[in-house]
Amino acid sequence: MAMVEWDNAYSVEIQEIDEQHKRLIDIMNELYGALASKSHRDDIGIVLDELVEYTKIHFAVEETLMRIFHYEGYDQHKQIHDNIVRRVLEYQEKFRSGDNKVGMELLMFLKDWLFDHINKIDKAYVETFIKGGAKKTWMKKFW
Ligand SMILES: [Fe+2]
């Protein structure tokens, strides 16, 4: 049961970044599945932790590329990421302290945020990356 669906309209046209966005969507759907089927709290916690960790990894990759290619919007983009991570960590903390409703709140928050962020914020760095020598076919084996 998918709550969030990937659409090619969300492609930033750099393969690895698309793959990472798809992975984020997959984990969000996994969390949704775990919540909808009322999985054991520990199992929900595992998926929630994975979502938090993968969000951090994905942001770190984007931020590294922005620095490599001297992207002028780096500071602003980094600040947006930091704010999201802060919110996500707050949700994780609430869940750990016993709030069971927080998983769905986190999902709704990320769902509203993700596509808007990809379209308005992520797509803005692509031109700089490509001009700097990034290849659309880049996958993680290239770095
Ligand atoms: Fe981003």
Q: How far is the CA of 31 from the centre of ligand 1 (A)?
A: 21
Contact 52, 89 (CB under 8 A): yes
Q: Among 108, 82, 104, which Cα is nearest to 95's?
A: 104
Q: How far is the CA of 111 from the centre of ligand 1 (A)?
A: 14
User: How many CB atoms are located within 10 Å of the residue 99 CB?
Assistant: 12
Q: How far is the CA of 117 from the centre of ligand 1 (A)?
A: 6
Find the helix packing angle between 102-117 and 41-68, rounded to 10°. Answer: 20
pLDDT in tens, 97-137: 999 889 889 999 999 899 999 999 999 999 999 999 988 88
Token reading at 121: 């914020």
Environment of ion ligand 1 (residues, CB < 5 A): 62, 122
State how far the Cα of 6 lies from the Cα of 29, in Å rounded to an integer. Answer: 11
Q: Where are the domains of the chain?
A: 15-130
User: What own/partner pairs with CB < 8 Å and gap ≥ 24 does 69-77 have?
Assistant: 69/125, 69/128, 69/129, 69/131, 69/132, 69/133, 69/134, 70/128, 70/132, 71/125, 71/128, 71/129, 72/128, 73/124, 73/125, 77/121, 77/124, 77/125
What's the pLDDT score for residue 142? 56
CATH top class, domain 15-130? mainly alpha
Q: How far is the CA of 60 from the centre of ligand 1 (A)?
A: 9
Model pTM score: 0.92
What's the pLDDT score for residue 1? 61
Average pLDDT over the chain reads 92
Residue 45's pLDDT band, with cuts at 50, 70 and 90, is: very high
Q: How far is the CA of 103 from the centre of ligand 1 (A)?
A: 22
Residues above pLDDT 90, as percent of the chain: 83
